[in-house]
Amino acid sequence: MNRQRPLVATPCQEQRNQPMESPMGGNFGRIYLTEALPGTGGRIKEKPDDFQVEEVPLYPLSGQGGFTFLFVETVNLSTLDLVDRLRDRLGIRDDEVGVAGWKDKHAITRQFVSVPRDRLLETHVSELAGDGLRILHSAHHPHKLRTGHLLGNRFSVLVREPRPGALPLASAILDRVRGGGLANFYGPQRFGASGDNPAAGRDLLTGRRTMRSVRRRKLLVSAYTSLLFNLTLKERMQRGLFAQLLRGDVAKKTETGGLFVVEDPPLEQPRADKLEISATGPIWGKKMMAPKAEALALETEVLTRQGASADLFRRQPGSRRPLRVVVRELALREEPEGLRLEFFLPKGSYATVLLDEIMKTGPGGTADRPPSDVEDGQ
């Protein structure tokens, strides 16, 4: 049934969707989409091969041009560490090293990185390898690799020592995700190890803090706008509007990425039900496509509640981010050491958000609650 939901949460919804922590706390507005389903519990990232990620490139390499693309495998080496190593050993600047995405340290990762062709000699390749780094292959291309120049990432993750009966628990959660999409929250790594990056970003925007480093400033301000997105997504989930279109929503086409304003929600809702389109949330800035009507009212309400206004972001680029994401190539199986989960996520989405949805080991999670203590349905 595609009935329009009210823009006011019911008391039951408010109680069941309480934020796990304060906005600047460890969960940054994230709540569970499948809160009524118990989690598997367990642990991840105890060994590097427990968490494997491989970039899927956006385009084929031409084989010619002024940049060398290295496809590298790292073990317990973050992308930041990788950039530092290339900079130091090749004698280049940080900004001459191109990466499509930033990867965690405690994992096995396979990703492309680009460097100026004239700065990478054959002797350098052997010098780069070792200490957690392997060069798998290389090719040339006319342009530097830029952030976001990837289709997405394939993951293979082992959940160690889940609770008894974890396989059907995980399967039930994944069935919900397959049918309705995953809540496209920014993961905790977006907000810094200490969790104070959003507050620092807010202070930079309001002038209470200054910073020389352009890269660091962008990182901190991005953490703040990411928090505001998470809080907007949480608000929609609390109001029963996760998959429901509002009048004035900026919707995104799943396959092509095209954006359009929803003028007639009942007309467009069947496409949303089939995951062909999804409503988006705000990444506040001057280039952000603005919503209208009910959607604008909701997003403005969340922003005002944080003591901010759209004018605060007048010098930021801005964009829109889908509220939900389609998880592809999902596979789940039992192994002697736990559950193995394999999946593909488009760029910008976080594997840790999916894993937390399944495991529910964060604050307020249900991993330690028996199934009988959890209500059926959502």
Helix (H) or strand (E) holding 339: strand 338-346
Q: Is 122 helix (H, G, I), strand (E, B) or coil?
A: helix
Q: Which amino acid is at 296?
A: L
**For residues 251 and 236, is the Cβ–Cβ distance under 8 A?**
no
Q: Find where tokens 């959660």 sit.
A: 173
User: In Å, what is the CA distance from 322 to each residue of 156, 186, 232?
Assistant: 24, 11, 11
Q: Are the CB atoms for 250 and 289 separated by under 8 Å?
A: yes
Contact (Cβ atoms closer than 8 angstroms) between residue 251 and residue 272: yes
Task: Say which residue the tokens 């900079």 belong to.
Answer: 87
From the list 104, 196, 203, 273, the catalytic residue is 104
Report the C-alpha gap between 324 and 60 in whole angstroms.
28
Q: Give CA–CA dist 367/378, Å, rounded.
A: 17
What is the residue whose two structure tokens read 């089939």? 274
The helix (H) or strand (E) run that includes residue 169 is helix 166-180
Whether 104 is a known active-site residue: answer yes
Instruction: Let me know: does 51 contact 338? Beta carbons within 8 Å.
Output: no
Tell me which residues are annotated as active site. Answer: 104
